[in-house]
């Protein structure tokens, strides 16, 4: 499972892996599901996830309606945030306060990224996430809800939002669009019945996308492409740390990595 990899030509003078390795598969925890949605205790995990994907646009609309600051200093993080829930949709259950785990390359930052979420989305997709505390949203005057803030540590906090959006909507085209600056015409998703080897997008192949990136990168092309690799590896590291083993996610990461390596080869060879 999860062993498909793409070959890539050598990249002169660049220390990049040929593939993004995947950890051994681990299923999510039944206790984590029971803690937040006891009624789903006997439902198979795949049915839970498919049900969430079918409601993805509705859930994302409710998250987008929850207006919170994009960032705050950790020292100013309140215990809860007041939000106005969207009419007719399930409101978020928590406001994630996402910050990066300290490392030699990323020293401790005081900033946290605030991301509204539904606890069942995390519990159903993330095998390694700590057991979520039950959300006890409190009603405020005027229809607002007070949602608890929940700290979440990931390897690269600034790369958490595109991963989280994918978990909610399961839209591969939007994930690729968040990782690579491709025009909308190239981002049509492939049909579910199509060949996996063709890639996650219907309108463009990996070599075509690589050629576009190599030609359209401005300024120092290699530096611009390297910045994109850092964002992709941030999403990859976060997925590994949280225990996300979605096939479509990993296919999209494989494909974007192949595109970036191809674009770098073209730039290094002087093609663009």
Mean pLDDT by 10 residues, the chain (272 residues): 41 72 92 92 95 96 94 92 86 94 71 95 93 78 89 95 97 95 88 58 89 93 94 96 95 95 93 77
The strand ranges marked E within the chain are: 71-73, 80-83, 94-100, 111-117, 138-139, 145-154
> What is the reported pLDDT for 134?
77
**pLDDT attached to residue 197:** 52
| Phi, psi of 96, rounded to the nearest 5 degrees | -70, 135
pLDDT of residue 49: 96
CA-based radius of gyration for the chain: 20
Burial 157-184 (b: 16+ CB within 10 A, else e): bbbbbbbbbbbbbbbbbbbbbbbbebee
Q: What residue has token string 């990859």?
A: 236
pLDDT number for residue 188: 84
pLDDT of residue 218: 86
**Residue-level pLDDT at 189:** 79
| Distance in angstroms (rounded) separating the CA atoms of residues 182 and 188 | 11
pLDDT of residue 200: 80
pLDDT at 163: 98
Residue 12's pLDDT is what?
46
Rounded to two decimals, the pTM is: 0.89
pLDDT at 198: 58
C-alpha to C-alpha distances, 258 to 99, 232, 233, 249, 254, nearest whole angstrom = 28, 11, 13, 14, 6
Token couple for 25: 């598969």
Question: Rounded to whole angstroms, how far apart are CA atoms 243 and 261?
Answer: 25
């Amino acid at each position: 499972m999860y062993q498909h990899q793409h070959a890539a030509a050598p990249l002169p003078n660049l220390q990049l892996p040929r593939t993004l390795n995947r950890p051994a598969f681990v299923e999510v925890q039944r206790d984590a599901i029971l803690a937040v949605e006891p009624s789903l205790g006997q439902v198979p995990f795949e049915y839970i996830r498919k049900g969430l994907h079918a409601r993805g646009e509705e859930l994302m609309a409710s998250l987008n309606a929850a207006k919170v600051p994009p960032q705050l200093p950790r020292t100013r993080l309140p215990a809860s945030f007041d939000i106005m829930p969207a009419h007719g949709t399930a409101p978020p259950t928590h406001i994630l306060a996402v910050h990066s785990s300290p490392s030699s390359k990323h020293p401790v930052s005081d900033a946290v990224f605030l991301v509204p979420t539904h606890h069942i989305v995390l519990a159903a997709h993330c095998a390694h996430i700590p057991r979520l505390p039950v959300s006890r949203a409190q009603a405020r005057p005027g229809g607002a809800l007070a949602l608890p803030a929940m700290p979440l540590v990931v390897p690269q906090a600034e790369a958490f939002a595109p991963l989280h959006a994918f978990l909610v909507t399961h839209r591969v085209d939007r994930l690729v669009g968040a990782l690579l600056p491709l025009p909308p015409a190239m981002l049509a998703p492939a049909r579910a019945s199509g060949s996996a080897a063709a890639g996650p997008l219907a309108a463009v192949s990996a070599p075509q996308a690589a050629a576009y990136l190599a030609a359209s990168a401005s300024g120092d092309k290699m530096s611009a492409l390297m910045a994109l690799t850092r964002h992709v590896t941030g999403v990859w590291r976060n997925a590994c740390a949280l225990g996300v083993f979605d096939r479509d996610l990993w296919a999209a990461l494989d494909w974007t990595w192949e595109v970036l390596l191809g674009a770098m080869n073209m730039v290094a060879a002087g093609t663009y």
